[in-house]
Chain A
Amino acid sequence: MTGSMVLRTRGLTRQYGRDSGLVRAVDEIDLDVPAGQALAIMGPSGCGKSTLLHLLGGLQRPTDGQVWLADHRIDTMSERALARLRRDSVGFVFQSFHLMDELTAVENVELAALLAGQSPRRARKRAMYLLDRVGLADRARHLPAELSGGQRQRVAIARALSNDPLVVLADEPTGNLDSAATVEVLRLFDEIRAAGQTLVVVTHDARIAAVADRMISMRDGAFADDSPLAGAGMAGTGSGRGSGTAAGAAAGTVYGGRR
């Protein structure tokens, strides 16, 4: 029963190479992501987390095992059907943004909508709304080269949201950003999460924990630890104050030792 699971995998495996050079980048993973969950998958580089994300989004095909997105089994889909599914149900966010350099911010955001066959007018309206939501309405006509790293990633997130996807898949979204830009992007993810968007982020940056409901640690292609982060689901954007005590305690462990 897939039920309210947005993503589901069973025995998901992806291998590279063969014989002695065989690498199991993803090794028999069972995963269920319920609707509205913000899941962070963490692990050192090379642990297979990016491959897992690509398999979940249908960018790569598994060697073995099954993947369901909502009620569609995607590992056996044709390339065409996969493309349509990505267009309508999945939003991607990449480490290196992957914006089209020759298109302005708003044109990048409406890309997916136009591909889906929406009318240019509706696509533009939606793109402007999304840019406004990520706080870049005044940068709509700028080319990516004229934007800062954090702004580019926000444009990319707006693009990922443009078709109201079932799930947003993000691959090291803060990997190329400095600390201030990371905060911008984390805030944005937090808003998206609060709005009920299902989110899967793979990263080696533990700060992502701040915006996740659940953390999975990955080692050598398999899950090492899967922990719900208590209270996160309920905590909205304004929860900073509520968790202040815990933050104080955290500070205490570092500085309190000496007082």
Chain B
Amino acid sequence: MAGRLLLVCRLLVRDLRRRPTETVLLLAAIAAATGTLTLGLALNGIADRPYQRTRAATAGPDVVVEPPEVTGTQALTALAPLTTAPGVTGHSGPYPVAYLMLTARGKTVHAVVEGRDRAPATLDRPAVTGGTWVRPGGVVFERAFADALGVHTGDTVSVDGHSLRVDGTAVTAARAAYPRAGWRVPGTPFTDPGGLVWVDRGDIAALAGGSQSLSYTLNVKLADPAAHDAFGAVSSAALNTRSWQFIAEEDSALAKQARKTMLIGSWLLAALAVASVAGIVAGRVIGQRRRLGLLKAVGAGPAMVAAVHLAEYLVIGLAAAGIGLAAGWLAAPLLASPGGGFLGSVGAHPPALRTVVAATCFALVIAAAAALAPVVRAAITDTVHALADAASPPRRRGGRVRLSRRLPTALLIGVRINARRPRRARLAMVNTLITTTTLAAALMFQVQNRQETHIGPSELVNPDDERSYHAMLIVIVVLCVLALINAVVSTWSAVLDARHPLAVARTLGATPGQATAGLSAAQLLPAVPGVAAGIPAGIVLFLAASAGQIRYPPGVWWLATALGILLAVAALTAVPAIAAARRPVADTLRSTAS
């Protein structure tokens, strides 16, 4: 047993070392897909767990109650009976709240101003993340709000004309983070986006211009935190109640769009990775077949043959899973940073077991899916054929060969190269299809009205959009790199495979230029349907993933995108093609003769 294990390991290590480029390419392809998936899954938990942590750390209330339509003493009267209502085990407040305008760094925005005591409350004790808690004449910002405005401890801001110094930043579980703090349009039950700040209870009346215009908010703790529905029925219809579940939901909505982008992106990347791995594996099959035939000849059974072959891809898959997980997990905080309304951040904690298992399985499935077909084929192939050293002989596609007779030389060569290896041509098509789909979806995203959030008279960037945008950027960058790798690998293996027929064509009088153009054409021809199908596919994908009014980019843009992609493919394939065509014909014929 030890001997066999040694053998498997030895073959594995030697083979990986012998083909460092392919190994790295395989790793990169699988790791890219795994990393994107990890990022998507990480965003899933981004709002969830930190909210729970924040709620525990700040003694978050089970329910927050506000009378929306009354102010001053009327509001206090409306809230008073709730503190002794059945099922209520504790409360803090009522705290005065004013919906005012805050000006900082030249921007005037909606601010929910809450008056608090210096002493900690029994319920909802906002956790200070920077500076100090409220002092008279000072203001404490909800952290995400401070981030969005760019204010820091020690700055001066003005609230309805009153200058206040920024004492610190804090997070709370009693209100959703910016921009969902719930700024109430005075005199109405409607809310607008806005951020939360805390001031000293003594200061708030002056800021609001009189105590009669103050609203009040009451934090309540229930004997059964899940029974908030019953509590809502007890409190009168004139009161507005927000359960902690509702607040948590509001917060998680922040990352929803980005998460969707990442998940869709990871599926696209997975498809591309499979295409990529399949392309690389196909290039190795010739050598592998011989190896496996040899193993069979010296007495390796089918199980051993499969083990030797699969082990390699599984090891690459596992390594790629590790790299992808690490990369995805490290990148997650970058996407999460605008949502700093919570204690702790995503990256600081080890990824959930579920994420690790999912990402690892994902990577292994990609590796196995790509490697399985050759393994099965090798296991059932006649040993003698496997030893014969040749890849499956090119198939003849009579129809295409006849058709190509009428074409110009370059196209003729291109069509015939693809007719030799239809599977490779299909891979090239899938590659451009996925790339174009993603770019088309990104283009759609780009032309939508980027919603700057109106927070009062000034506009601030909507963190939701910002996050989706970042997610989209990551997906596109990774995807483009992968597509690039695919195109080069595909062309290079096409060049290697077509060397001999091209050399023969050149002895018959085809010029190096025609040979180069032929190789490029062989890659471009399948790319054309890929691009043609990819643009509508991208639009459909975008429509499926978004709601509301959709704007379409002008037709010229689509044309430019399509041409750009085709041009990129042509350029990428021209380099190896030129390198191959420059080689003297005799050398090629000699090295490929068997």
Contacts and interface: CB of A to CB of B under 8 A. Distances in A.
Interface of A: 54, 57, 59-60, 79-80, 83-88, 90, 92, 94, 96, 98, 100-103, 107, 111-120, 123, 159, 163
B437 to A, nearest CB: 39
A59 B297 contact: yes
A139 B433 CA distance: 52
B298 A102 contact: no
B300 A83 contact: yes
Given A59-B383, A96-B389, A98-B387, A120 B299 contact: no
B298 A112 contact: yes
A-B pairs, 9 with minimum CB distance: A87-B299, A102-B14, A83-B301, A114-B3, A86-B299, A114-B7, A112-B298, A59-B383, A80-B301
Interface string B1-41: 11110110011001101100000000000000000000000
26 contacts: A54-B383, A54-B384, A59-B383, A59-B384, A60-B383, A80-B301, A83-B300, A83-B302, A86-B296, A86-B299, A88-B299, A98-B294, A98-B387, A101-B18, A102-B11, A103-B11, A111-B7, A112-B298, A113-B3, A114-B3, A114-B4, A115-B295, A116-B299, A117-B4, A119-B3, A163-B299
B26 to A, nearest CB: 17
Contacts of B452: none
A146 to B, nearest CB: 14
B296 A83 contact: yes
A115 B384 contact: no
Given A59-B296, A79-B302, A115-B7, 14 more contacts: A59-B384, A80-B303, A83-B304, A87-B298, A88-B299, A98-B294, A100-B291, A100-B294, A102-B14, A102-B17, A115-B299, A118-B3, A120-B3, A159-B298
Interface string B407-431: 0000000000000000000000000
B592 to A, nearest CB: 16
Contacts of B304: 83, 115
A112 B297 CA distance: 9
Contact of B387 (A94, A100, A101, A163): A94
Contact of B14 (A80, A103, A163): A103
Nearest to B13: A102
B249 interface: no
Nearest to A53: B384
Interface string B149-174: 00000000000000000000000000
A161 to B, nearest CB: 12
Contact of A92 (B1, B6, B297, B301): B297
B382 interface: yes
Interface residues of B, number: 31
Nearest to B15: A102
Most buried by B among A88, A112, A114, A163: A114
Interface in B251-307: 290-291, 293-304
A90 B300 CA distance: 12
Given A60-B382, A60-B384, A100-B294, A117 B301 contact: no
Contacts of B383: 54, 59-60
Nearest to B302: A79
Contacts of B290: 98
Contacts of B303: 80
Contacts of A85: 299
A114 B301 CA distance: 13
A49 to B, nearest CB: 13
Contacts of A117: 1, 3-4
B296 A119 contact: no
B376 to A, nearest CB: 13
Contacts of B1: 117
Given A54-B384, A80-B301, A87-B299, A102 B18 contact: yes
Contacts of B7: 111, 114-115
A112 B294 CA distance: 11
Contact of A115 (B14, B300, B302, B387): B300
A80 B304 CA distance: 10
A126 to B, nearest CB: 11
Most buried by A among B10, B291, B293, B303: B10
A92 B297 CA distance: 7
A114 B384 contact: no
Contacts of B384: 54, 59-60
Contacts of A120: 2-3, 6
